[in-house]
Structure 1
Amino acid sequence: MSSDGRHRRVRSGPGPPAAPKPRRQSPGQHVTVDGMGLYDDHVVPRLVELCCGAKYHEPLRAQVCAGLHGKVVEIGFGSGLNVPFYPAAVESVSAVEPADLGWRLAAERVAASRVPVERSGLDGQRLPFPDNSFDCALSTWTLCTIPDAGAALAEVRRVLKPGGTLHFIEHGLAPDHSVQVWQNRLNPVQKTIAGGCHLNRRIRVMIEAAGFELREVEQFYGEGSPRVFGAQTQGVAVAN
Structure 2
Amino acid sequence: MIDNADESLKKWQDSVQAWAAITKENAEIDVLVGMLTSIASASPIIDKFSTWLLAGSAGIGSLFILNLDRLVPIINSDRIQWALFFLIPSAIFGVFSKLNSLSIQTGVHSTQRMKEILLPIIEKHMGNEDEIGKAAKESNSLIDMTIDFKKIMNEFIDCYPFPVRYFIKKYQKDEDFNQVSAPKKWVRSLIWQSFNTSIQFICVLVFAIVLISGINII
Same-fold call, TM > 0.5?
no
TM-score normalised by the chain length of structure 2: 0.25
TM-score normalised by the chain length of structure 1: 0.23
Q: Which structure has the highest helix share of the two?
A: 2
Q: Which structure has the highest strand share of the two?
A: 1
Give 1 or 2 for the bigger CA radius of gyration.
2
